[in-house]
Amino acid sequence: MTDKLTATHEQMLAIWQQHTYAEFVLKNPEAALETMSDNPYVLLVPAGTGGTGRAGVLDFYKHSFLPNIPADLELIPVSQIFSDTQIVEESVARFTHTIAMDWMLPGLPPTNKVVEFVLVGIIRIENGKVANEHLYWDQASVLSQLGVLDNPVAAAGINSAAKLLSLTGRIS
């Protein structure tokens, strides 16, 4: 997924991997917070959810995000780009909407439908810790797949995730 990394980029990647391991494998909000700066924030832009400051991020992880991740969530890496202070990570996310996910789909009860979409995260690293995360996805495409929107314009991006996986040789 990555070409040659500098020592700084390797350190950035290591803290990011530690952070995501705490979130998605351990499902431990305190462990995830330990990888973060003194004043972090998380913003899931399409849903307007997240947390600000250590207490706000901990509350978001503990009560909204981590307990409400579908069991079959799959994140398929596509690309990573590094700057001196940031990682831009592109993935395809896939899951079955079996639980309420107000962190992503506020107020939408489970539809039991499978959804697949491109997810982009911009992660800023400050003094060897995750300072903030900005996450983006096409909410109209997600809502169309879940049967909430019935609009050809909104549905146009439904096959984008599959196309991206095909074009990058990551068909699963």
Task: Give tens-digit pLDDT for 14-31.
Answer: 999 999 999 999 999 999
- Intra-chain end-to-end CA distance of the chain, in Å: 16
Provide the mean pLDDT of the chain.
92
Q: In the chain, pLDDT over 70 holds for what percent of residues?
A: 92
**pLDDT for 89-116, tens place per residue?**
999 999 999 999 999 999 999 999 999 9
Amino acid at 75: L
Q: Are 18 and 11 in contact (CB under 8 A)?
A: no
pLDDT surpassing 80 at residue 46: yes
pTM of the entire predicted model: 0.87
Q: Are 135 and 87 in contact (CB under 8 A)?
A: no
Nearest 10 degrees: Cα torsion 34, 19, 47, 82: 120
Domains of the chain: 7-167 (3.10.450.50)
**Mean predicted confidence (pLDDT) in 149-155:** 72
pLDDT surpassing 50 at residue 133: yes
pLDDT surpassing 80 at residue 155: no
**Three-class SS state of 100:** coil
Q: What angle do CA 49, 51, 55 make, to 5 degrees?
A: 155
